[in-house]
Amino acid sequence: MSVSGFSGNALVPELAVTDWSNSRAFYIDILGFSLLYERPEEGFSYLALGEAQMMIDEIGQGRTFALDTAPFDAPFEKPLGRGLNLQIRVDEIAPLAERLGTENIPLYLPLEDKWYRRGDHAVGNRQLIVADPDGYLLRFYQNLGVRPL
C-alpha cells in the first residue's frame, strides 16, 4: 500500500522489533493500528492509530539503527526500550481494554483513572499500559478533561 503525498508527524518513533510479522499482527489485529505503508522485504511498517503514528522495523532486515556500544545481537535481551513508554491517545479506551482481555494479553498497568497536576488545575487520563511482543511499553489513554485542584 502506498500513500502519495504522505508526510508523517513531527515526531514518529521507530521501534526495532525481533519478529516483524508478529509485531505487525499485534499492532494491527490486537491494538487496532492501521497500516499506512510497508516494505515487507525490509520487515518495515508505518502504522497509525488516530493521530498517533509509529514505525516498526525488524532487526537485521533493511537498516538497523544500533550503537556500536549497544549492538542488537541475538538472542535479544528483552524487554527492548527499557525506561521508555509511549503515550498514545485514543477516543475510547474501553474497547481496547476489552480486546486485550479477550486475547489474554497481560497489562503492565491495569486500567485506571489518573489525575495529573498541570499548573493550577488537574488533567485526567483513563489509561492502561501494555507491553508489545518485544517489551516496549505502550500507555494508551483517554482524555477525561480538566478539573480544579
Report the pLDDT value the prediction gives residue 72, as an integer from 0 to 100.
60
Confidence at 80, pLDDT banded by 50, 70, 90 = confident
| Residue 30: CA count within 13 A, CB half-sphere | 19
Domains of the chain: 14-148 (3.10.180.10)
Q: Which residues pair with 99 in a beta bridge?
A: none
Note if the pTM is more than 0.85.
yes
- Cα 33 off chain centre by: 9
Report the pLDDT value the prediction gives residue 69, as an integer from 0 to 100.
53
Q: What is the mean pLDDT of residues 33-60?
A: 95
3-state secondary structure the chain: CCCCCCCCCCCCCEEEECCHHHHHHHHHHHCCCEEEEEEHHHCEEEEEECCEEEEEEECCCCCCCCECCECCCCCCCCCCCCCCEEEEECCCCHHHHHHHHHCCCCEEEEEEEEEEEECCEEEEEEEEEEECCCCCEEEEEEEEEEEEC
